[in-house]
């Protein structure tokens, strides 16, 4: 093994896809944005399609283009489409595009003239996130859509929105957002536009809110075996999800120090007794959060060893204990599914004051991904 590696369990990915297929009659869109949440865009996308995903979804258009150029022929949608993107290539590669403004629509229509292709569009509606999507000026956009549909310049195949509080299933806002989406669907239909695909459900809603299961459900964090919200929905294990990423590293150095030794930048940590320290060959340049504290660490030789001191760019230090027999070069587990006693992704997230999404997506390109395909 090199100094660090992320082991990706493809069987877990497939298992998590099977789980949601058994919970809905809707088509499944596997969300593979952000390099498949850090797991690797192409291998995960291919595994998802092989396991029965109907769609692939990305935020960035360049990822959608990469998917298509890898030989994947399944439907793909890219939903973060700023002005100036390579819309012509998207159309030539049969990639569906999301729009939420007249300006982006104009650019896509111009690109369609160059590509000699009719764009397949999904209209994003802002129902409460105040992020992407058309909001108060929806009627102006719908008039423009109606004119373009009548002249056969575009094909409106979908309409969608994003739930702000799906991980809080009892919140009234979920029903309000769904109602607003239904209203906009009706408004489109009054103009003679009947989108085939309506979608609002993300992973949390896919697991908890059957009413949100429209034409498509977007299976994001759940695909990777992680809970959308540990506090409100429970752990991966309680949801029957299988975490797919295990992060491993090597100890670059093991040394014995006396009580009173300072550790790391700022000398923010001081050993309280004689101990052995292990220097892990990963740091914030690899995606280890700089603000990680002693509630996170590594698993080595059957025991947990907590972080001590600040995480550096390329390394961090753990307290092994004076009786440890661990040696320089030994392998450690930074995080995994917890089955062997190692720290979980959720524990790392809690220690860093963040969410599991961020922990996995920030694992950077310096860390090779190795894929396993057998049931474990």
Helices (H) and strands (E) in the chain, counts: 12, 18
pTM of the model as a whole: 0.96
Q: What is the pLDDT of residue 33?
A: 98
Q: What is the pLDDT of residue 200?
A: 98
Above 90 in pLDDT, residue 374? Answer: no
Does the annotation count 265 as an active-site position?
Answer: yes
Per residue in 93-113, pLDDT (tens digit) is: 999 999 999 999 999 999 999
Does 10-224 match 245-372 in CATH topology? no
Q: What is the pLDDT of residue 373?
A: 87
Per residue in 146-196, pLDDT (tens digit) is: 999 999 999 999 999 999 999 999 999 999 999 999 999 999 999 999 999
Residue pair 154/110 in contact (Cβ under 8 Å)? The answer is: no
Per residue in 299-320, pLDDT (tens digit) is: 999 999 999 999 999 999 999 9
Above 80 in pLDDT, residue 376? Answer: no
Structural domain 245-372, CATH architecture:
Beta Barrel (2.40)
Does the annotation count 303 as an active-site position?
Answer: no
Per residue in 122-148, pLDDT (tens digit) is: 999 999 999 999 999 999 999 999 999
| 144: alpha, beta or left? (left if phi > 0; alpha if psi -120 to 50) | alpha
Residue 185 Cα distances to 49, 100, 123, 178, 179, angstroms: 29, 15, 10, 11, 10
| Angle separating helix axes 10-21 and 41-50, nearest 10 degrees | 40
Active-site hit among 265, 273, 303, 327: 265
H or E stretch including 6?
strand 4-9
Ramachandran angles phi, psi of 51, nearest 5°: -95, 5
Percent of the chain beyond pLDDT 90? Answer: 98
Cα 89 off chain centre by: 25
Above 70 in pLDDT, residue 297? Answer: yes
Fold of 10-224: TIM Barrel (3.20.20)
Q: Identify any residues that bridge with 124 across adjacent strands, giving them in sequence order.
A: 160
Q: What is the pLDDT of residue 2?
A: 87
Per residue in 214-243, pLDDT (tens digit) is: 999 999 999 999 999 999 999 999 999 999
How many of the other CB atoms lie within 10 Å of CB of 279?
Answer: 17
- DSSP tag of 175: H
Closest residue by Cα to residue 291 from 310, 278, 306 = 310
Q: What is the mean pLDDT of residues 337-365?
A: 98
Above 90 in pLDDT, residue 288? Answer: yes
Active-site hit among 33, 214, 250, 350: 33
| Angle separating helix axes 41-50 and 61-69, nearest 10 degrees | 60
Q: What is the pLDDT of residue 1?
A: 81
Q: What is the mean pLDDT of residues 6-19?
A: 98
Q: Where are the domains of the chain?
A: 10-224, 245-372
């Amino acid at each position: 093994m090199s100094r660090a590696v992320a082991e990706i369990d493809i069987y877990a990915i497939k298992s998590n896809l099977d789980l949601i297929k058994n919970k809905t009659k809707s088509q499944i869109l596997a969300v593979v944005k952000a390099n498949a949440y850090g797991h690797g865009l192409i291998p995960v996308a291919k595994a998802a399609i092989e396991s029965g995903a109907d769609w692939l979804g990305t935020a960035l258009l360049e990822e959608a283009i990469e998917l298509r150029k890898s030989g994947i022929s399944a439907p793909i949608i890219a939903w973060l489409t700023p002005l100036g993107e390579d819309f012509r290539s998207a159309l030539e590669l049969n990639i569906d595009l999301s729009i939420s403004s007249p300006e982006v629509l104009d650019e896509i229509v111009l690109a369609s003239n160059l590509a000699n292709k009719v764009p397949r569009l999904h209209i994003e509606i802002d129902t409460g996130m105040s992020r992407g999507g058309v909001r108060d000026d929806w009627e102006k956009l719908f008039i423009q859509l109606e004119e373009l549909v009548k002249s056969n310049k575009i094909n409106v195949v979908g309409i969608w929105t994003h739930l702000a509080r799906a991980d809080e299933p009892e919140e009234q806002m979920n029903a309000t957002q769904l109602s607003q989406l239904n209203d906009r669907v009706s408004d489109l239909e009054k103009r003679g536009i009947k989108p085939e695909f309506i979608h609002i459900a993300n992973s949390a809603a896919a697991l908890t809110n059957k009413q949100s299961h429209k034409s498509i459900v977007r299976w994001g964090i759940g695909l990777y075996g992680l809970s959308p919200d540990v506090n409100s929905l429970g752990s991966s294990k309680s949801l029957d999800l299988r975490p797919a990423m295990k992060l491993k590293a090597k100890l670059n150095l093991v040394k014995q120090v006396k009580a009173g030794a300072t550790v790391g930048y700022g000398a923010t940590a001081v050993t309280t007794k004689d101990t052995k320290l292990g220097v892990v060959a990963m740091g914030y340049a690899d995606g280890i959060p700089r603000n990680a504290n002693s509630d996170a660490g590594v698993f080595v030789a059957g025991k947990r060893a907590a972080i001590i001191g600040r995480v550096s760019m390329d390394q961090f230090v753990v307290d092994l204990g004076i009786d440890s027999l661990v040696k320089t070069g030994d392998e450690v587990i930074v995080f995994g599914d917890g089955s062997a006693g190692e720290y979980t992704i959720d524990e790392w997230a809690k220690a860093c004051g963040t969410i599991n999404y961020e922990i996995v997506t920030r694992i950077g390109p310096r860390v090779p991904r190795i894929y396993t395909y057998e049931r474990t």
